[in-house]
Amino acid sequence: MRVERAQNREAKSRPTAPLMTDKSMRISLSDRKVAIPLFVLSVTQIIGWGTVGLPSIVGRQMAEDLRIDISYIFAANSVLYVVMGLWAPLLAKVFARFGAKRVMIAGTILSALGFLLLAVCRGPLLYFSGWVTLGTAGSATLSTAAYIMLNELAGSNAKRAIGGLMLITGLASSIFWPIASVLAKAVGWQATCVVYAGMMVFICLPLYVFGLPAATAPINQNLHQVADTTASAPARKGTFYLIAAAITLNAFVTFGYSAIFFELLKAVGLPATQAVALGSALGVIQVGARAVDFLGGARWDGISTGIFAGIVLPLSMVLLMLNRGSHTAVAIFVVLYGLGSGALAVARATIPLVFYDKVDYVSAASRIALPLNVISAAAPPLFIALLTRLGSTVLLEVTTLCSGTALILLLVLTRRRPALDSTAPVA
Protein backbone atom coordinates (compact mmCIF):
# COMPACT_ATOMS: atom_id res chain seq x y z
CA MET A 1 0.00 0.00 0.00
CA ARG A 2 2.85 2.40 0.82
CA VAL A 3 4.43 1.69 -2.55
CA GLU A 4 1.09 2.25 -4.27
CA ARG A 5 0.56 5.59 -2.49
CA ALA A 6 4.08 6.68 -3.44
CA GLN A 7 3.42 5.79 -7.06
CA ASN A 8 0.17 7.77 -7.00
CA ARG A 9 1.95 10.81 -5.54
CA GLU A 10 4.66 10.50 -8.20
CA ALA A 11 2.07 10.27 -10.99
CA LYS A 12 0.31 13.38 -9.70
CA SER A 13 3.58 15.31 -9.65
CA ARG A 14 4.49 14.48 -13.24
CA PRO A 15 4.21 17.21 -15.89
CA THR A 16 1.09 17.06 -18.00
CA ALA A 17 1.07 15.83 -21.56
CA PRO A 18 1.82 18.29 -24.38
CA LEU A 19 -1.82 18.13 -25.49
CA MET A 20 -3.35 20.90 -23.39
CA THR A 21 -6.91 21.18 -22.16
CA ASP A 22 -9.33 23.83 -23.41
CA LYS A 23 -9.21 25.54 -20.02
CA SER A 24 -5.44 25.83 -19.93
CA MET A 25 -5.34 27.18 -23.45
CA ARG A 26 -8.01 29.79 -22.69
CA ILE A 27 -6.10 30.90 -19.62
CA SER A 28 -2.95 31.21 -21.70
CA LEU A 29 -4.52 33.49 -24.31
CA SER A 30 -6.61 35.58 -21.91
CA ASP A 31 -3.60 36.21 -19.69
CA ARG A 32 -2.50 39.84 -20.06
CA LYS A 33 1.15 38.80 -20.34
CA VAL A 34 0.30 36.89 -23.53
CA ALA A 35 -2.57 38.98 -24.93
CA ILE A 36 -0.65 42.27 -25.19
CA PRO A 37 2.47 40.74 -26.84
CA LEU A 38 0.18 38.82 -29.20
CA PHE A 39 -1.42 42.11 -30.28
CA VAL A 40 2.02 43.72 -30.69
CA LEU A 41 3.32 40.82 -32.76
CA SER A 42 0.18 40.75 -34.90
CA VAL A 43 0.64 44.40 -35.89
CA THR A 44 4.39 44.17 -36.42
CA GLN A 45 4.27 40.89 -38.37
CA ILE A 46 1.61 42.30 -40.70
CA ILE A 47 3.80 45.36 -41.30
CA GLY A 48 6.97 43.28 -41.60
CA TRP A 49 5.64 40.77 -44.14
CA GLY A 50 3.44 43.31 -45.90
CA THR A 51 6.29 45.73 -46.60
CA VAL A 52 8.72 43.15 -48.02
CA GLY A 53 6.07 42.23 -50.58
CA LEU A 54 6.64 45.56 -52.38
CA PRO A 55 8.12 44.06 -55.62
CA SER A 56 4.91 42.11 -56.20
CA ILE A 57 3.11 45.42 -56.74
CA VAL A 58 5.71 47.77 -58.24
CA GLY A 59 8.20 45.30 -59.76
CA ARG A 60 7.87 46.62 -63.31
CA GLN A 61 8.27 50.21 -62.19
CA MET A 62 11.36 49.22 -60.19
CA ALA A 63 12.87 47.48 -63.23
CA GLU A 64 12.28 50.52 -65.45
CA ASP A 65 13.73 53.00 -62.97
CA LEU A 66 16.79 50.88 -62.15
CA ARG A 67 17.23 49.78 -65.79
CA ILE A 68 17.58 46.11 -64.94
CA ASP A 69 15.65 43.04 -66.04
CA ILE A 70 12.47 42.38 -64.08
CA SER A 71 13.71 38.89 -63.19
CA TYR A 72 16.41 40.54 -61.07
CA ILE A 73 13.76 42.58 -59.29
CA PHE A 74 11.83 39.47 -58.31
CA ALA A 75 15.05 37.69 -57.33
CA ALA A 76 14.87 39.94 -54.28
CA ASN A 77 12.46 37.47 -52.66
CA SER A 78 14.97 34.67 -53.10
CA VAL A 79 17.72 36.85 -51.60
CA LEU A 80 15.46 37.69 -48.66
CA TYR A 81 14.66 34.05 -47.85
CA VAL A 82 18.22 32.76 -48.34
CA VAL A 83 19.73 35.45 -46.11
CA MET A 84 17.06 34.85 -43.46
CA GLY A 85 17.84 31.15 -43.56
CA LEU A 86 21.60 31.61 -43.33
CA TRP A 87 21.32 33.90 -40.32
CA ALA A 88 18.73 31.83 -38.44
CA PRO A 89 20.98 29.17 -36.84
CA LEU A 90 23.59 31.81 -36.00
CA LEU A 91 20.98 33.84 -34.12
CA ALA A 92 19.88 30.91 -31.94
CA LYS A 93 22.48 31.74 -29.28
CA VAL A 94 21.62 35.45 -29.49
CA PHE A 95 17.91 34.74 -28.89
CA ALA A 96 18.80 32.47 -25.98
CA ARG A 97 21.20 34.96 -24.37
CA PHE A 98 19.30 38.22 -24.81
CA GLY A 99 15.69 37.15 -25.36
CA ALA A 100 13.48 37.79 -28.38
CA LYS A 101 12.58 41.37 -27.43
CA ARG A 102 16.10 42.79 -27.75
CA VAL A 103 16.78 40.87 -30.95
CA MET A 104 13.55 42.11 -32.54
CA ILE A 105 14.32 45.71 -31.58
CA ALA A 106 17.73 45.48 -33.27
CA GLY A 107 16.17 43.79 -36.30
CA THR A 108 13.57 46.54 -36.65
CA ILE A 109 16.26 49.23 -36.77
CA LEU A 110 18.03 47.18 -39.43
CA SER A 111 14.77 46.88 -41.40
CA ALA A 112 14.49 50.67 -41.53
CA LEU A 113 18.06 50.84 -42.86
CA GLY A 114 17.23 48.25 -45.52
CA PHE A 115 14.28 50.25 -46.82
CA LEU A 116 16.37 53.44 -46.83
CA LEU A 117 18.94 51.65 -49.01
CA LEU A 118 16.16 50.76 -51.45
CA ALA A 119 14.95 54.36 -51.36
CA VAL A 120 18.31 55.72 -52.54
CA CYS A 121 19.40 52.91 -54.86
CA ARG A 122 20.04 53.70 -58.53
CA GLY A 123 21.27 50.31 -59.66
CA PRO A 124 21.51 46.62 -58.76
CA LEU A 125 24.33 46.97 -56.20
CA LEU A 126 22.42 49.04 -53.66
CA TYR A 127 19.17 47.30 -54.59
CA PHE A 128 20.47 43.88 -53.58
CA SER A 129 22.35 45.39 -50.63
CA GLY A 130 18.98 46.62 -49.39
CA TRP A 131 17.47 43.15 -49.68
CA VAL A 132 20.43 41.50 -47.96
CA THR A 133 19.91 43.97 -45.11
CA LEU A 134 16.18 43.23 -45.03
CA GLY A 135 16.91 39.50 -45.01
CA THR A 136 19.25 39.92 -42.05
CA ALA A 137 16.61 42.01 -40.29
CA GLY A 138 13.91 39.49 -41.15
CA SER A 139 15.80 36.69 -39.43
CA ALA A 140 15.60 38.77 -36.24
CA THR A 141 11.98 39.94 -36.56
CA LEU A 142 9.82 37.80 -38.85
CA SER A 143 8.01 34.53 -38.09
CA THR A 144 10.64 32.49 -36.22
CA ALA A 145 11.49 35.42 -33.95
CA ALA A 146 7.80 35.95 -33.16
CA TYR A 147 7.31 32.26 -32.39
CA ILE A 148 10.32 32.33 -30.07
CA MET A 149 8.81 35.35 -28.29
CA LEU A 150 5.50 33.54 -27.75
CA ASN A 151 7.34 30.42 -26.63
CA GLU A 152 9.22 32.50 -24.04
CA LEU A 153 5.89 33.68 -22.65
CA ALA A 154 3.64 30.64 -22.94
CA GLY A 155 5.91 27.62 -23.25
CA SER A 156 3.90 24.54 -24.24
CA ASN A 157 0.75 26.71 -24.35
CA ALA A 158 2.24 28.74 -27.21
CA LYS A 159 0.54 26.63 -29.91
CA ARG A 160 -2.76 28.47 -29.80
CA ALA A 161 -1.07 31.86 -29.52
CA ILE A 162 1.02 31.05 -32.60
CA GLY A 163 -2.11 29.89 -34.40
CA GLY A 164 -3.83 33.17 -33.58
CA LEU A 165 -0.82 35.14 -34.79
CA MET A 166 -0.70 33.24 -38.08
CA LEU A 167 -4.44 33.69 -38.56
CA ILE A 168 -4.04 37.46 -38.42
CA THR A 169 -0.76 37.78 -40.32
CA GLY A 170 -2.19 35.73 -43.17
CA LEU A 171 -3.91 38.99 -44.12
CA ALA A 172 -0.62 40.89 -44.58
CA SER A 173 -0.68 40.90 -48.38
CA SER A 174 -4.40 41.72 -48.50
CA ILE A 175 -3.72 44.79 -46.35
CA PHE A 176 -0.44 45.97 -47.85
CA TRP A 177 -0.93 45.36 -51.57
CA PRO A 178 -3.53 48.17 -51.79
CA ILE A 179 -1.38 50.39 -49.55
CA ALA A 180 1.68 49.84 -51.74
CA SER A 181 -0.32 50.46 -54.92
CA VAL A 182 -1.77 53.75 -53.66
CA LEU A 183 1.55 55.01 -52.26
CA ALA A 184 3.52 54.08 -55.38
CA LYS A 185 1.06 55.92 -57.62
CA ALA A 186 1.05 58.96 -55.35
CA VAL A 187 4.74 59.38 -54.48
CA GLY A 188 6.68 56.66 -56.34
CA TRP A 189 8.11 53.37 -55.10
CA GLN A 190 11.29 54.85 -53.60
CA ALA A 191 9.35 57.34 -51.49
CA THR A 192 7.16 54.39 -50.50
CA CYS A 193 10.32 52.74 -49.16
CA VAL A 194 10.92 55.83 -47.02
CA VAL A 195 7.37 55.51 -45.68
CA TYR A 196 8.04 51.85 -44.90
CA ALA A 197 11.24 52.78 -43.06
CA GLY A 198 9.18 55.27 -41.06
CA MET A 199 6.70 52.53 -40.16
CA MET A 200 9.55 50.49 -38.75
CA VAL A 201 10.86 53.37 -36.62
CA PHE A 202 7.60 54.99 -35.51
CA ILE A 203 5.23 52.00 -35.28
CA CYS A 204 7.11 48.72 -34.90
CA LEU A 205 9.98 49.97 -32.75
CA PRO A 206 7.80 51.60 -30.02
CA LEU A 207 5.52 48.56 -29.99
CA TYR A 208 8.48 46.26 -29.38
CA VAL A 209 10.05 48.55 -26.76
CA PHE A 210 6.90 49.21 -24.72
CA GLY A 211 4.64 46.28 -25.63
CA LEU A 212 6.92 43.27 -25.23
CA PRO A 213 8.23 42.04 -21.88
CA ALA A 214 11.90 41.34 -21.37
CA ALA A 215 13.05 37.74 -21.25
CA THR A 216 11.04 36.06 -18.48
CA ALA A 217 14.01 34.00 -17.28
CA PRO A 218 17.76 34.03 -17.72
CA ILE A 219 17.63 31.62 -20.62
CA ASN A 220 21.37 32.00 -21.09
CA GLN A 221 21.82 29.86 -17.97
CA ASN A 222 21.13 26.95 -20.29
CA LEU A 223 22.92 28.49 -23.26
CA HIS A 224 25.29 25.56 -23.56
CA GLN A 225 22.29 23.42 -24.49
CA VAL A 226 21.59 25.70 -27.44
CA ALA A 227 25.17 26.25 -28.49
CA ASP A 228 25.97 22.56 -28.63
CA THR A 229 22.85 20.52 -29.22
CA THR A 230 24.82 17.44 -30.14
CA ALA A 231 26.54 17.46 -26.77
CA SER A 232 23.49 18.26 -24.66
CA ALA A 233 20.92 16.00 -26.25
CA PRO A 234 22.43 13.57 -28.74
CA ALA A 235 19.35 11.34 -28.49
CA ARG A 236 17.26 14.12 -30.05
CA LYS A 237 19.20 14.30 -33.29
CA GLY A 238 17.12 11.66 -35.08
CA THR A 239 13.85 13.28 -34.10
CA PHE A 240 15.09 16.73 -35.06
CA TYR A 241 16.04 15.55 -38.55
CA LEU A 242 12.62 13.93 -38.99
CA ILE A 243 10.93 17.19 -37.98
CA ALA A 244 13.16 19.30 -40.22
CA ALA A 245 12.72 16.97 -43.21
CA ALA A 246 8.92 16.81 -42.87
CA ILE A 247 8.57 20.58 -42.51
CA THR A 248 11.00 21.33 -45.35
CA LEU A 249 9.41 18.89 -47.81
CA ASN A 250 5.96 20.35 -47.21
CA ALA A 251 7.33 23.89 -47.41
CA PHE A 252 8.91 23.05 -50.76
CA VAL A 253 5.44 22.16 -52.06
CA THR A 254 3.47 25.04 -50.56
CA PHE A 255 5.97 27.83 -51.24
CA GLY A 256 6.47 26.57 -54.77
CA TYR A 257 2.77 26.46 -55.54
CA SER A 258 2.14 29.85 -53.95
CA ALA A 259 4.40 31.43 -56.58
CA ILE A 260 2.96 29.67 -59.66
CA PHE A 261 -0.61 28.87 -58.61
CA PHE A 262 -2.28 30.97 -61.30
CA GLU A 263 -0.06 29.44 -63.97
CA LEU A 264 -0.86 25.93 -62.72
CA LEU A 265 -4.60 26.56 -62.87
CA LYS A 266 -4.29 27.81 -66.44
CA ALA A 267 -2.08 24.84 -67.35
CA VAL A 268 -4.75 22.36 -66.21
CA GLY A 269 -7.37 23.98 -68.42
CA LEU A 270 -8.94 26.94 -66.64
CA PRO A 271 -9.50 30.22 -68.51
CA ALA A 272 -7.55 33.15 -67.08
CA THR A 273 -10.61 34.78 -65.48
CA GLN A 274 -11.61 31.60 -63.66
CA ALA A 275 -8.00 30.99 -62.63
CA VAL A 276 -7.88 34.45 -61.04
CA ALA A 277 -11.20 33.88 -59.25
CA LEU A 278 -10.23 30.48 -57.84
CA GLY A 279 -6.71 31.62 -57.03
CA SER A 280 -8.08 34.57 -55.07
CA ALA A 281 -10.32 32.20 -53.10
CA LEU A 282 -7.25 30.20 -52.08
CA GLY A 283 -6.11 32.80 -49.56
CA VAL A 284 -9.53 32.88 -47.90
CA ILE A 285 -9.55 29.07 -47.63
CA GLN A 286 -6.05 29.05 -46.13
CA VAL A 287 -7.02 31.63 -43.51
CA GLY A 288 -10.15 29.56 -42.82
CA ALA A 289 -8.00 26.49 -42.16
CA ARG A 290 -5.87 28.51 -39.75
CA ALA A 291 -9.04 29.72 -38.02
CA VAL A 292 -10.29 26.15 -37.53
CA ASP A 293 -6.94 25.14 -36.03
CA PHE A 294 -6.97 28.22 -33.80
CA LEU A 295 -10.49 27.58 -32.49
CA GLY A 296 -9.99 23.87 -31.91
CA GLY A 297 -6.25 23.80 -31.35
CA ALA A 298 -6.57 22.86 -27.68
CA ARG A 299 -7.79 19.44 -28.78
CA TRP A 300 -4.77 18.49 -30.88
CA ASP A 301 -1.09 19.28 -31.21
CA GLY A 302 1.12 20.31 -34.13
CA ILE A 303 1.74 16.71 -35.21
CA SER A 304 -2.00 16.05 -35.52
CA THR A 305 -2.44 19.25 -37.56
CA GLY A 306 0.48 18.22 -39.79
CA ILE A 307 -0.93 14.73 -40.39
CA PHE A 308 -4.34 16.13 -41.36
CA ALA A 309 -2.66 18.49 -43.80
CA GLY A 310 -0.31 15.74 -44.97
CA ILE A 311 -3.29 13.58 -45.97
CA VAL A 312 -5.29 16.34 -47.63
CA LEU A 313 -2.41 17.82 -49.65
CA PRO A 314 -1.41 14.76 -51.76
CA LEU A 315 -5.08 13.79 -52.04
CA SER A 316 -5.81 17.12 -53.74
CA MET A 317 -2.98 16.59 -56.24
CA VAL A 318 -3.96 13.01 -57.08
CA LEU A 319 -7.54 14.15 -57.65
CA LEU A 320 -6.35 16.82 -60.09
CA MET A 321 -4.11 14.39 -61.97
CA LEU A 322 -6.92 11.85 -62.39
CA ASN A 323 -9.46 14.42 -63.57
CA ARG A 324 -7.59 16.69 -65.96
CA GLY A 325 -9.83 19.15 -67.75
CA SER A 326 -12.64 18.93 -65.20
CA HIS A 327 -13.44 22.34 -63.78
CA THR A 328 -15.19 20.70 -60.83
CA ALA A 329 -12.04 18.72 -60.03
CA VAL A 330 -9.97 21.91 -60.20
CA ALA A 331 -12.34 23.64 -57.77
CA ILE A 332 -12.15 20.70 -55.34
CA PHE A 333 -8.36 20.74 -55.70
CA VAL A 334 -8.24 24.42 -54.73
CA VAL A 335 -10.42 23.80 -51.66
CA LEU A 336 -8.46 20.75 -50.48
CA TYR A 337 -5.10 22.32 -51.24
CA GLY A 338 -6.13 25.51 -49.43
CA LEU A 339 -7.16 23.57 -46.34
CA GLY A 340 -3.97 21.52 -46.35
CA SER A 341 -1.55 24.37 -47.00
CA GLY A 342 -3.29 26.63 -44.48
CA ALA A 343 -3.04 23.97 -41.78
CA LEU A 344 0.60 23.29 -42.68
CA ALA A 345 1.49 26.93 -42.12
CA VAL A 346 0.46 26.47 -38.48
CA ALA A 347 2.03 23.01 -38.17
CA ARG A 348 5.44 24.31 -39.32
CA ALA A 349 5.60 26.55 -36.27
CA THR A 350 3.93 24.27 -33.72
CA ILE A 351 5.38 20.80 -34.41
CA PRO A 352 8.63 21.63 -32.53
CA LEU A 353 6.54 22.64 -29.49
CA VAL A 354 5.52 18.99 -29.11
CA PHE A 355 9.11 17.86 -28.57
CA TYR A 356 11.09 20.77 -27.12
CA ASP A 357 10.98 22.95 -24.02
CA LYS A 358 11.59 26.72 -24.06
CA VAL A 359 15.37 26.55 -24.40
CA ASP A 360 15.48 23.74 -26.94
CA TYR A 361 12.68 25.32 -28.99
CA VAL A 362 14.90 28.35 -29.68
CA SER A 363 17.63 26.12 -31.10
CA ALA A 364 15.26 23.82 -33.01
CA ALA A 365 13.23 26.64 -34.59
CA SER A 366 16.38 28.52 -35.61
CA ARG A 367 18.03 25.43 -37.13
CA ILE A 368 14.87 24.47 -39.04
CA ALA A 369 14.69 28.00 -40.46
CA LEU A 370 17.85 27.46 -42.53
CA PRO A 371 16.58 24.67 -44.83
CA LEU A 372 13.07 26.11 -44.69
CA ASN A 373 14.09 29.51 -46.03
CA VAL A 374 16.53 28.12 -48.60
CA ILE A 375 13.78 25.84 -49.92
CA SER A 376 11.36 28.78 -49.94
CA ALA A 377 13.79 30.62 -52.20
CA ALA A 378 14.55 27.67 -54.49
CA ALA A 379 11.03 26.27 -54.96
CA PRO A 380 9.42 28.94 -57.21
CA PRO A 381 12.02 28.83 -60.04
CA LEU A 382 12.12 25.03 -59.87
CA PHE A 383 8.33 24.80 -60.04
CA ILE A 384 7.99 27.16 -62.98
CA ALA A 385 10.73 25.25 -64.81
CA LEU A 386 8.95 21.92 -64.25
CA LEU A 387 5.61 23.39 -65.30
CA THR A 388 6.81 25.08 -68.49
CA ARG A 389 9.29 22.44 -69.65
CA LEU A 390 7.78 19.13 -68.51
CA GLY A 391 4.13 19.99 -67.94
CA SER A 392 1.65 20.07 -65.07
CA THR A 393 1.43 16.27 -64.70
CA VAL A 394 5.14 15.93 -63.90
CA LEU A 395 4.93 18.83 -61.46
CA LEU A 396 1.95 17.24 -59.70
CA GLU A 397 3.74 13.88 -59.54
CA VAL A 398 6.84 15.43 -57.97
CA THR A 399 4.85 17.39 -55.39
CA THR A 400 2.69 14.37 -54.55
CA LEU A 401 5.86 12.38 -53.89
CA CYS A 402 7.23 15.14 -51.63
CA SER A 403 3.97 15.48 -49.69
CA GLY A 404 3.60 11.72 -49.34
CA THR A 405 7.14 11.38 -48.01
CA ALA A 406 6.50 14.18 -45.51
CA LEU A 407 3.34 12.40 -44.34
CA ILE A 408 5.31 9.20 -43.70
CA LEU A 409 7.85 11.17 -41.64
CA LEU A 410 5.05 12.75 -39.59
CA LEU A 411 3.54 9.32 -38.93
CA VAL A 412 6.94 8.16 -37.67
CA LEU A 413 7.05 11.21 -35.39
CA THR A 414 3.73 10.23 -33.78
CA ARG A 415 5.52 7.24 -32.24
CA ARG A 416 8.11 9.61 -30.75
CA ARG A 417 5.61 12.09 -29.31
CA PRO A 418 6.35 12.55 -25.57
CA ALA A 419 3.64 10.78 -23.59
CA LEU A 420 3.86 12.36 -20.16
CA ASP A 421 6.81 14.68 -19.82
CA SER A 422 6.87 17.41 -22.43
CA THR A 423 10.46 18.25 -21.59
CA ALA A 424 11.87 14.76 -21.46
CA PRO A 425 14.64 13.78 -23.85
CA VAL A 426 13.30 12.71 -27.20
CA ALA A 427 14.59 9.46 -28.58
Q: What is the DSSP string of 376-424?
A: HHHHHHHHHHHHHHT-HHHHHHHHHHHHHHHHHHHHHHHTTS-SS-TTS
- Tell me, what's the pLDDT at 296? 62
- Tell me, what's the pLDDT at 5? 47
The answer, yes or no, to whether residue 146 has pLDDT greater than 50, is yes
Comparing 94 with 281, which gets the higher pLDDT? 94
- Tell me, what's the pLDDT at 256? 86
Domain edge (last residue) among 218, 239, 267: 218
Q: 421 in a domain, yes or no?
A: no
156 and 299 share one domain: no
Domain holding 296: CATH number?
Answer: 1.20.1250.20
Q: 38 in a domain, yes or no?
A: yes
- Tell me, what's the pLDDT at 48? 96
Q: 15 in a domain, yes or no?
A: no
- Tell me, what's the pLDDT at 270? 81
Q: What is the pTM of this model?
A: 0.72
% of the chain exceeding 90 in pLDDT: 35
User: Which 8-state DSSP code applies to residue 99?
Assistant: -
286 and 319 share one domain: yes
- Tell me, what's the pLDDT at 216? 55
Residue 190: band (very low, low, confident or very high) from pLDDT cuts 50, 70, 90: very high
256 and 330 share one domain: yes
188 and 245 share one domain: no
Give the distance, in angstroms, between the CA of residue 9 and the centroid of all CA atoms in the same chain: 41
Domain edge (last residue) among 161, 190, 218: 218
- Tell me, what's the pLDDT at 107? 97
- Tell me, what's the pLDDT at 85? 86
d(CA 348, CA 303): 9
52 and 113 share one domain: yes
Domain count, the chain: 2
262 and 305 share one domain: yes
176 and 101 share one domain: yes
178 and 277 share one domain: no
Tens of pLDDT, residue by residue over 62-86, are 999 999 988 788 888 889 989 998 9
Q: 3 in a domain, yes or no?
A: no
- Tell me, what's the pLDDT at 284? 77
266 and 307 share one domain: yes
248 and 369 share one domain: yes
276 and 327 share one domain: yes
389 and 246 share one domain: yes
Tens of pLDDT, residue by residue over 227-264, are 444 333 433 568 889 999 999 999 999 988 887 787 88
- Tell me, what's the pLDDT at 135? 95
Q: 223 in a domain, yes or no?
A: no
Comparing 401 with 4, which gets the higher pLDDT? 401
Cβ-contact 216, 42 below 8 angstroms: no
- Tell me, what's the pLDDT at 1? 45
Residue 297: band (very low, low, confident or very high) from pLDDT cuts 50, 70, 90: low
The answer, yes or no, to whether residue 372 has pLDDT greater than 70, is yes
Q: 93 in a domain, yes or no?
A: yes
Rg over alpha carbons for the chain, rounded to the nearest Å, is 22
Which residue in 284, 285, 271 sits closest to 327, CA to CA? 271
Domain edge (last residue) among 187, 218, 249: 218
- Tell me, what's the pLDDT at 10? 42
- Tell me, what's the pLDDT at 111? 98
* C-beta neighbour count of 222 within 10 angstroms: 17
* C-beta neighbour count of 379 within 10 angstroms: 24
The answer, yes or no, to whether residue 119 has pLDDT greater than 80, is yes
Q: 320 in a domain, yes or no?
A: yes
Instruction: Give the mean pLDDT of the chain.
Output: 81
Q: Which domain holds residue 241?
A: 228-414
* Region at 220 (left for phi over 0; alpha for psi -120 to 50; beta for the rest): alpha
Least confident of 107-116, 177-186, 191-200, 376-385: 376-385
Distances (CA, A) of 210 to 41, 217, 353: 12, 18, 27
Specify which of 42-56, 139-153, 187-201 reaches the highest per-range mean pLDDT: 187-201
Q: 14 in a domain, yes or no?
A: no
Q: Buried (b) or exposed (e) across 258-268, using 16+ Cβ within 10 A?
A: bbbbbbbbbbb
Tens of pLDDT, residue by residue over 1-59, are 444 444 444 444 444 434 444 444 444 455 667 889 999 999 999 999 999 989 878 88
- Tell me, what's the pLDDT at 400? 95
- Tell me, what's the pLDDT at 31? 64
